[in-house]
Structure 1
Amino acid sequence: MMRATRRTVLAIGLAAPFVARAQAQPRAVPLGGSIPMTGAAAETGLNVLHGYQAAVKRIEEMGGIQAGGQTYRFELRLVDDASDPSRAVTLIQRQVDEQVPLFLGSFGSNIVLPTCAITERARRPMVQAGGGSDQIFTQGRRYVFGVFPRATRQFETTTNFFKSLDPKPQTFAILYTNDPFSRFSAEGARTSLTGAGFQVTDFVQLPAVVTDVTTVLARIRETRPDVLIATTHDEHSLLITRQMISSDTNVKLAYFGLGPQTAAYRQAIGRYADSILTASYWASNAPYQCPYFGSAKGFEEYYNRNFQRPLAYHMASGAACILAFAEALKAAGGPDAAKMRDALAAMDFLCFYGRIKFTPQGDGDAELMGPLVAQVQGGRLEIVGPPAAATARPIWPAPPWNQRG
């Protein structure tokens, strides 16, 4: 089994499979970038990293990528940014100066934003699964691509889920932190919900670093919204959930944009996690076919055979970034940065992750790459929306905290 290392530099060049002597060995194409292997975002950052590793390993096992009469393999040159944007900027600039041609993204818009500015100036393509802020995609950049829709377009499928409930919820409270991704996600959720006729009773900005939400939760107990939406990152979602439990702040449904997808969150909350909603950009039972892994289920089986870290959709998203680069390499005929950028912009590729197609601004097509709605049931994530992808019926309304488990 492979485990992610927490060393500062991670360079993965897996041994190439046997090739006849007369045939040239695959040529290594470096994929640079940083990822949070330590620090506040490490839990999800390591998930994305494992997805990168899984796809690189699989491509090696398949004998590499044929492009322009040459065989290529990918070599990961990822550095630990320790969840620190300033550190990430320094490390990425160093890799640009070292002529690394292609880049994978970090996790968190606060890191992807400044680092993609560096790769943009250098005209080096970046494909990433960790930054959804609208600012990444609305400032005229041409070399950064994301396998998620931008933040303000990510809530449409969730709004449709709420519309499908019987009886429909009426009132919503939205909490967000003062950072680009969380803020844009909250604004997108409010626009989507109000456009569908729902009432947003509270729209509350929290500090960028949250340590206490007791005052906000007192307000929630007063206004008694049907649904609490928190467009927060993992660590803040965990804190809010714990303080909701300890203060007996009950709502009919709670939705956290990030957090419940991870085994660490569900283990930390235990039985109280049941009924909590979240977003999931991929499910192993999705009906997708793939030339690399066979199917969505095939990716799950391959990952579990080779890695010990519990599988979450972040691994699938990370692997999708690698496959996007692989298909772009084929279309470009080689690792020319400008040609690969054009190939990414024109991509329309079906794989285990779904259909990968980017908007002209570089984010994932909202209709094709928007999230599924997942709910924790019995400690597991079940897909509850849209109906065509559902693996379970939603628990609605959720029982109060003292009746869970």
Structure 2
Amino acid sequence: MDRRNFLATSGALALSSTLPRMAFAQDNTITFGGSIPMTGGAAETGLNVLNGYRCAVKYINEEMGGAEIGGEKYQLALNLFDDASDPSRATTLIQSQVDEGIDFFLGSFGSSIVLPTCAITEAAGRIMVQAGGGSDLIFTQGRERVFGIFPRASKQFVSSVNMFTSLDPKVETVSILYTNNAFSKFQAEGARTSLEEAGIKVLDFIALPAQVNDVSNVLTTIRENTPDVLVCTTHDEPSILIARQMVATNTNVPMLYQTLGPQTAGYRDALGNYANGVVTQAYWSERAPYSGDYFGSAADFAKYYNANFERELTYHMASGAACIVSYVQAAKNAGTLEVGAVRDALAALDFECFYGQIRFTEDGDGDAALLGPLLIQRQDGEMEVIAPAEGASAEPIYPAPTWEERA
């Protein structure tokens, strides 16, 4: 098969809530398949990742005139469908796209969706590059064609522990809440290991249901045995629920740290001033000192995104765009769109762009030394980088004000 012939959509982006129906084949167009949560529980962040994909396609097509690979120019197109945050729906969509000839896939958001869909693309000999799944299971089951912009979940807490040990007063105790799903559990276990290795005592390690409706009993435990830091390895909606119930029950801790949720406009809108002081992870900042051939610097990416898209910029947009950039750079290095060659070039990637130094481990996840998270804290409504110190835009506020003081 001539890999220059890709099933393409009629424009740069096709979005649908129905099963995919591919358009006619078109030369010199690279079509990326996949699904993304545009509705359902993961939609808040899913739409952020989607806008990152869209941003990179728009920039490369319009500002760079396309991607030059092997002496030829190619336009990029997206053929992404709404999986409604439903793994079963996502697997149906991805299998249909595999059957219709898509070779290059972008990931959905959430390990519960990425895990079964990447199993389909792997078995079919196709490639997936994704910024939505960090579960260790994605990267420890022998897959060779799945690449993640983030480090695997169990390796995502090293920078956090470094910050905890540098705070004054020093963090001595931590409690961990996690939802019982493929990502959060691995991240929580990695956090516990890293904390204990640093000599920080883990007071409680509490599993919540995958679908959380109430945490009042758990918060009673937190009030009775208050840690210096409450770590929640939870996704957007559970993070909002936990914070709201902490406010309602006056459950105060010196630091509330939630790995997903506080980065989003939805979290800010739901909690208002109570969002101030909450700490979270970010895998990119427009203040970061990175630059390269695509977009220019991190600040240039932010400027371009804000000029072309209305949805508030978070690191998820940059991560999504980095997936597209990684594909294009790998194909450029390979000099061909032959799937095996692109796969090998992805495995060997080591280049700097607006997102940072992109390099994957031999298992396909992001190199933790290069692509691990920054720590950010909402201060007076602004997201400030508080660690690592060399990249910080503000000092951590610790201990944080009580909920009553934030009202």
What TM-score bracket applies, with the shorter chain setting the length? over 0.9
Identity across aligned pairs (percent)?
61
* Total equivalences in the alignment: 390
How many Å separate the matches in 2 of 1:378 and 1:364?
Answer: 32
Contact 1:26–1:64 (CA<8 Å) still a contact in 2? Answer: no
Cα deviations by residue, 1:261-319 (Å, 9 ceiling, x for unpaired): 00110121000111100000000011111211110000000000000000000000000
Cα deviations by residue, 1:348-377 (Å, 9 ceiling, x for unpaired): 010000000000000000000000000010
Cα deviations by residue, 1:181-237 (Å, 9 ceiling, x for unpaired): 000000010000110000000000000100000000000000111110000000000
Contact 1:253–1:277 (CA<8 Å) still a contact in 2? Answer: yes
* Residue matched to 2:264: 262
Q: Secondary structure at the match of 1:186?
A: helix
Q: CA deviation at 1:7?
A: 3.9
Given candidates 357, 371, 374, the residue that maps to 1:372 is 374
Contact 1:10–1:76 (CA<8 Å) still a contact in 2? Answer: no
How many Å separate the matches in 2 of 1:364 and 1:226?
Answer: 30
How many Å separate the matches in 2 of 1:6 and 1:40?
Answer: 18
How many Å separate the matches in 2 of 1:68 and 1:10?
Answer: 33
Task: Give the TM-score, by structure 1 length.
Answer: 0.94
Q: CA deviation at 1:10?
A: 11
Q: Secondary structure at the match of 1:230?
A: strand
Q: Secondary structure at the match of 1:188?
A: helix
Given candidates 139, 154, 157, the residue that maps to 1:155 is 157
2:393 matched to 1:384?
no
Q: CA deviation at 1:74?
A: 1.4
TM-aligned CA distance change 1:366 to 1:48, over 3 Å: same
* Residue matched to 2:71: 69
Contact 1:6–1:38 (CA<8 Å) still a contact in 2? Answer: no
Contact 1:26–1:71 (CA<8 Å) still a contact in 2? Answer: no
The one-letter code sitting in structure 2 at the alignment partner of 1:39 is G
How many Å separate the matches in 2 of 1:48 and 1:124?
Answer: 21
Q: Secondary structure at the match of 1:111?
A: helix
Given candidates 2, 17, 29, the residue that maps to 1:8 is 17
TM-aligned CA distance change 1:363 to 1:267, over 3 Å: same
2:258 matched to 1:253?
no
Given candidates 203, 228, 231, the residue that maps to 2:230 is 228
How many Å separate the matches in 1 of 2:79 and 2:341?
Answer: 21
Please list, as runs of the form range in 1=range in 2, the aligned pairs for 1:392-403 lying within 5 A after superposition.
392-403=394-405
How many Å separate the matches in 1 of 2:65 and 2:76?
Answer: 11
How many Å separate the matches in 2 of 1:404 and 1:378?
Answer: 10
How many Å separate the matches in 1 of 2:339 and 2:35?
Answer: 19
How many Å separate the matches in 1 of 2:14 and 2:281?
Answer: 28
How many Å separate the matches in 1 of 2:71 and 2:354?
Answer: 26
2:32 matched to 1:31?
yes
* Residue matched to 2:210: 208
The one-letter code sitting in structure 1 at the alignment partner of 2:352 is L
How many Å separate the matches in 1 of 2:15 and 2:72?
Answer: 34
Contact 1:26–1:70 (CA<8 Å) still a contact in 2? Answer: no
Contact 2:357–2:371 (CA<8 Å) still a contact in 1? Answer: yes
TM-aligned CA distance change 1:63 to 1:5, over 3 Å: closer
TM-aligned CA distance change 1:9 to 1:349, over 3 Å: farther
Contact 2:161–2:198 (CA<8 Å) still a contact in 1? Answer: yes
Cα deviations by residue, 1:56-76 (Å, 9 ceiling, x for unpaired): 000001111111121112110
The one-letter code sitting in structure 2 at the alignment partner of 1:40 is G
How many Å separate the matches in 2 of 1:348 and 1:335?
Answer: 19
Please list, as runs of the form range in 1=range in 2, the aligned pairs for 1:131-150 lying within 5 A after superposition.
131-150=133-152
How many Å separate the matches in 2 of 1:303 and 1:239?
Answer: 30
Q: Secondary structure at the match of 1:162?
A: helix
Cα deviations by residue, 1:159-189 (Å, 9 ceiling, x for unpaired): 1010110111111100001101000000010
Q: Secondary structure at the match of 2:84?
A: coil
Q: Secondary structure at the match of 2:132?
A: coil
The one-letter code sitting in structure 2 at the alignment partner of 1:353 is Y
How many Å separate the matches in 1 of 2:281 and 2:376?
Answer: 6
Task: Give the TM-score, by structure 2 length.
Answer: 0.94
2:191 matched to 1:182?
no
The one-letter code sitting in structure 2 at the alignment partner of 1:148 is F
How many Å separate the matches in 1 of 2:400 and 2:15?
Answer: 39
Given candidates 335, 340, 343, the residue that maps to 1:341 is 343
Runs of 4+ in structure 1 over 2 Å off: 4-7
